[in-house]
Structure 1
């Protein structure tokens, strides 16, 4: 308990120190152009914004206020990360100019303008990447027969994060792109909702999701955020009511041709009283001479899936860091944080996701839908 409190205090103090640094630069920039800034008012507003995501989690506040605070706080996370990158660079440039005896009033307005434009440009560019989907196509050959099925077209969309930020407008983009693909099968590898199911139900997002259609069906697996709100049973119920089956350590034989297996998320190991089974247990009764496609939200232990006989593994979770330079971290944490790899004979694809967590901003990643063209041995 003491260790947990100590870690929390350390994180809080670090966050506070970072934001004092950011806030001071903001105050300095405003004061440069106007001497009428009331410092106390500025700092109150600044810290309300800086902690607004946390305030939005306080359940005693009215729902509309909490949603607004979470929205502001989500965007501020992006601003804070950009500030951590840009402000030290701006300080370094200002220091060099000062020791070079460049007049203060010559470089300071240009430096403030340059940093402000960079902030704005990153936010606009990041918003475009987050809200405008790209379709990525992968063609895969599986050296197993699939009955009379020669080719399978699959639409894949992971990490929708439907909630107070990613709403029906963005979900409609998914429906429209998938319709254009005319897939045989639609797969959703986790994190369909963003922690809580209340906005999904309040905004009747199931009506939009029900427009997804495919001859071989629509399947999902739980992601960590589907568990976090404690509404996994209601989530499964809502999905199944619109014809989307959520596979929880289950497998199905589709079209008497190939298996589709779906794992519970890794979070189930601590959140779900039933835990989750291993890949070997999940697949032990399957005929491995048939093609096996598996969804597992978090991209871990590829070697175990390959050894169990999986031919195509589909994952999400990483968002590819969502915005730079986080992708440098995910690249080192995961064996594959985005894209395609061949693990022994198993094809692995990790998607950067369709929605976003926190700020609807993407840099070094795109909002994506996957189109898989899978060919089987004749």
Structure 2
């Protein structure tokens, strides 16, 4: 209910704004066009809310029929509102303009008089703005869908660790996050990710949370290709916030069955000199399964570099206080749809890419999937190969 209120109220206001600009301003009162436009806006609102509600209550094979139109429309609504908002100033300038009114000779200086456009001019301006905004929004969403549904970018990021043995320099970790299997992304999405990772012949694979949006019963088959991941030192997984919404205990057992090793506030030494540690997501606190850095790092060899798997970048504050050398995270989606990338820093210390926080390297993946709209604008999906290098 809280989720629906937080999202439903702004969505309703957005549709009201669109109704004013796209229907009321572009049609005459009591005409068929206005009635059709009103019904269309109401129908779009119902379709979107159905996507938000129904997809959480039915299996993905049925939920997709609500999710595709509803979430695509959500993206169109968002960019339409932005386009119409940007067009507000020129629209108002065109609607009201100053003209010189002729006066009799000797009657004094000519004064500018503001006039209101005639109805036909008002309709022309409103319709032009509506069409232009629609074309702009449609173009952005279309481009964003090609980004979201296409192959993730393959990034190569070198990271120098002071404690890394020279013999381990060049150790490569495939990092993938936020795969978000659900009503819009299924088995073929997993197969593509597994294929891309295996082609890199990584030394280790790190899946840093938000693998699924649904239960094992609903999405087990979609996740099954993960059993085909190949790496020299193994594949590892830590929970993201969406695992806790999807039955985290069942998913941990399922991933273990598939050969992807869950790290639940625990770690191990690999390759004879790298401490790989995983902590639970901060959302786990509400499920009595929160992060525990003390337990995760207990007994680790302090002469070896520590590579931490942690879903949310915000956990880097704890990581740095515990001497972690490198944290691998996701969660942000890089903002997914601009301009949300400007809002991420309000909650997280990193939006995407490599940064350093109090002596700890932090790498934040944009993720390989998406949440909600199948759209990515300014934040293409990625799979990252982290290459560890020694300082010597």
Distance 1:95 1:264, change over 3 A: same
Distance 1:199 1:111, change over 3 A: same
Q: Which runs of 5+ in 2 are unaligned?
A: 98-116
Q: 2:274 aligns with which of 232, 244, 258?
A: 258
Distance 1:227 1:52, change over 3 A: same
Normalising by structure 2, what TM-score? Answer: 0.84
Q: 2:93 aligns with which of 93, 96, 104?
A: 96
Q: Are residues 1:208 and 2:222 paired? A: no
Aligned to 2:343: 329
* C-alpha separation in 1, matches of 2:373 and 2:269: 39
Normalising by structure 1, what TM-score? Answer: 0.87
Q: 1:307 aligns with which of 297, 317, 321?
A: 321
* Structure having greater relative contact order (Cα 8 Å, sep ≥ 6): 1
Q: 1:49 aligns with which of 19, 44, 47?
A: 47
State the Cα deviation string for residues 122-175 of structure 1 (Å, max 9, x = none): 111111221231112111111114484332011110110111112223323312
Q: 1:19 aligns with which of 15, 20, 40?
A: 15
Question: What is the Cα deviation at residue 212 of structure 1?
Answer: 1.7
Q: Are residues 1:72 and 2:87 paired? A: no
Q: Secondary structure at the match of 1:256?
A: coil
Aligned to 2:108: none
* C-alpha separation in 1, matches of 2:164 and 2:303: 8
Question: What is the Cα deviation at residue 96 of structure 1?
Answer: 1.3
- Give the RMSD, CA atoms, in angstroms: 2.7
* C-alpha separation in 2, matches of 1:194 and 1:23: 32
> In 1, are the aligned partners of 2:181 and 2:211 still within 8 Å (CA)?
yes
* C-alpha separation in 2, matches of 1:110 and 1:284: 65
> In 2, are the aligned partners of 1:163 and 1:196 still within 8 Å (CA)?
no
State the Cα deviation string for residues 292-316 of structure 1 (Å, max 9, x = none): 1001101114233123121110111
Distance 1:113 1:221, change over 3 A: same
> In 2, are the aligned partners of 1:206 and 1:238 still within 8 Å (CA)?
no
Distance 1:243 1:147, change over 3 A: farther
Question: What is the Cα deviation at residue 109 of structure 1?
Answer: 4.2
Question: What is the Cα deviation at residue 108 of structure 1?
Answer: 4.2
State the Cα deviation string for residues 38-57 of structure 1 (Å, max 9, x = none): 44643542332232223415
Q: Are residues 1:237 and 2:235 paired? A: no
Question: What is the Cα deviation at residue 14 of structure 1?
Answer: 4.2
> In 2, are the aligned partners of 1:129 and 1:366 still within 8 Å (CA)?
yes
* C-alpha separation in 2, matches of 1:149 and 1:26: 61
Q: 1:348 aligns with which of 355, 358, 362?
A: 362
* C-alpha separation in 1, matches of 2:203 and 2:349: 29
Count of residue pairs brought into register by the alignment: 367
Aligned to 2:264: 248
Q: Which has the larger radius of gyration?
A: 2
Between 241-250 and 191-200, the greater mean CA deviation after superposition: 191-200
Aligned structure 1 segments of 4 or more residues deviating by more than 6 angstroms? none
State the Cα deviation string for residues 343-375 of structure 1 (Å, max 9, x = none): 243211011111101011111211011111112
Q: 2:147 aligns with which of 113, 117, 129?
A: 129
